[in-house]
């Protein structure tokens, strides 16, 4: 190529600057405000059933830091209905149970939703047990 090296350098710089515009558009992140998470705030009527293998027993079920159910069970099976916000991610119930016997005992908790979906978890212990139980619809 003939011509002044200064003119050639100027043309190369101009071509690179023109390529900078599409390169900038391709690599720039789109500035969109973050979308709020979709959380269903509608409460569902949830049926909780509790079965124990040893009597008497005392249990406490806590949901979102609030005591949901406290009972001194004198029968092996108990049940109650609660209005609970049940998102698709599930719920965590903190369960504390105390049995008078020091032998191995179990407490089974069944969560039933209005659509007929039922989930159950079992908590085992000798004298006492404390655990966070997670209930999800897809389990």
Residue 19 lies in a domain: no
Q: What is the pLDDT of residue 1?
A: 53
> Using one digit for the tens of pLDDT, what is the confidence trace for 22-34?
888 888 877 777 6
Query: pTM value?
Result: 0.67
Q: Is residue 99 part of a domain?
A: yes
35 belongs to a structural domain: no
Contacts of 69 (CB under 8 A, 6+ apart): 48, 59, 60, 61, 80, 82
At residue 40 the predicted structure's pLDDT band, cuts being 50, 70 and 90, is low
Segments forming the whole domain that contains residue 59: 44-135
pLDDT at 38: 56
CA 15 to chain centre: 53
Q: Average pLDDT of the chain?
A: 88
Q: Mean pLDDT over residues 15-44, rounded? A: 74
Q: Does residue 66 lie in a domain region?
A: yes
In sequence order, the 6+-apart residues with CB closer than 8 A to the CB of 127 are 98, 99, 101, 102
Q: Give the pLDDT of residue 30.
A: 72
Q: Using the 8-state DSSP alphabet, how is residue 112 labeled?
A: E
CATH number at residue 115: 2.60.60
Question: Running DSSP on this structure, what letter comes out for residue 5?
Answer: H
Examine residue 15 and state whether it is found in any structural domain, yes or no: no
Q: Residue 21 domain-assigned?
A: no
Residue 98 lies inside a defined structural domain of this protein:
yes
Task: Please state the domain count of the chain.
Answer: 1
Please report whether residue 89 resides in a domain.
Answer: yes
Q: Reply yes or no on whether the pLDDT at 71 is more than 60.
A: yes
pLDDT digits (tens, 9 = 90+) for 90-118: 899 999 999 999 999 999 999 998 888 89
Chain segment 61-70, per-residue pLDDT in tens: 999 999 999 9
In this predicted structure, which of 7-16, 23-32, 121-130 has the lowest mean pLDDT? 23-32
Distance between CA atoms of 47 and 118, rounded to whole angstroms? 9
């Amino acid at each position: 190529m003939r011509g002044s090296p200064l003119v050639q350098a100027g043309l190369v710089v101009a071509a690179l600057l023109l390529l900078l515009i599409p390169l900038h558009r391709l690599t720039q992140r789109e500035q969109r405000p973050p979308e709020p998470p979709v959380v269903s705030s509608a409460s569902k009527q949830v049926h909780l059933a509790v079965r124990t293998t040893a009597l008497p027993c005392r249990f406490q079920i806590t949901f979102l830091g609030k005591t949901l159910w406290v009972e001194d069970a004198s029968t092996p099976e108990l049940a109650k209905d609660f209005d609970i916000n049940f998102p698709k991610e599930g719920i965590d119930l903190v369960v504390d149970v105390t049995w008078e016997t020091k032998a191995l005992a179990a407490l089974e908790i069944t969560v039933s939703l209005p659509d007929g979906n039922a989930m159950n978890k079992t908590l085992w212990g000798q004298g006492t047990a404390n655990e966070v139980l997670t209930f999800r619809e897809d389990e």
